[in-house]
Amino acid sequence: DNPTNLFVLGYQLKNWKVDTVCLPSAAEAITYLEKDTNFDLILTDMRMPEMDGITFVKHIKSNIALRDIPVSLLSSLGEVSNLSEQRLLFASLAFKPLKQKQLLEMLAQGIQSKDKLKKKEVLVSKEQKLFNDLASHYPANILLAEDNPINQKLALKVFEKMGYDIDLAKNGKEAFEMVKQGSYDIVFMD
């Protein structure tokens, strides 16, 4: 809510080429987020008029479209009473006055927490989707170089389940010639 702090933070982020939207209150941020949920991180102050940072983040986490966006909290010393609760709510926490290095660390922690969440989603959905539609999401020309007939059959079945139609080379020399003639994105080999 402090115009000077908002300008300085916004200026620093934009100077680092971070696509940034600066809003002067939690209420305006909520209104904005109802229209645009495409954010990698939300930075919020602890003490704001009408709604503090804790209430703001709880509102965000209650919205299914927003709850996976990490939120980082800026606070003055003494404003945060229950640090263990805050660590559960926020991707990172920093105390003002904020140095550039601290701001950069907050950004990194926030993005890392979002990446961890994405990795968890991939792991959870791996069993359900990996063998069904991987090729449609990640098309590739694949060459398999394998001399063992049993391993060939197994690998061909696995790739087929993922939706790939791959080429097979029965030895290294054959694989080398096929790579010279074709254009492969990846070669799997023993």
Q: Please give the full DSSP string across 67-91, using - where no structure is assigned.
A: TTS-EEEEEETTS---HHHHHHH-S
The whole-number pLDDT of residue 167 equals: 92
Percent of the chain residues topping a pLDDT of 70? 83
Q: Of the candidates 138, 139, 143, which has an alpha carbon nearest to the alpha carbon of residue 183?
A: 143
Look at the pTM and tell me if it is higher than 0.85: no
Averaged pLDDT for residues 21-29: 92
Phi-psi region of 188 (alpha: psi -120 to 50; beta: other; left: phi over 0): beta
| Upstream peptide bond of 97 is cis (omega within 30 degrees of 0) | yes
> pLDDT tens-digit profile of 60-71?
888 888 888 888
pLDDT score recorded for residue 84: 53
Phi, psi angle pair for 143, to nearest 5°: -115, 130
pLDDT, residue 100, reads 83
pLDDT tens profile 98-146: 788 888 888 887 777 655 545 444 444 444 444 566 777 778 899 999 9
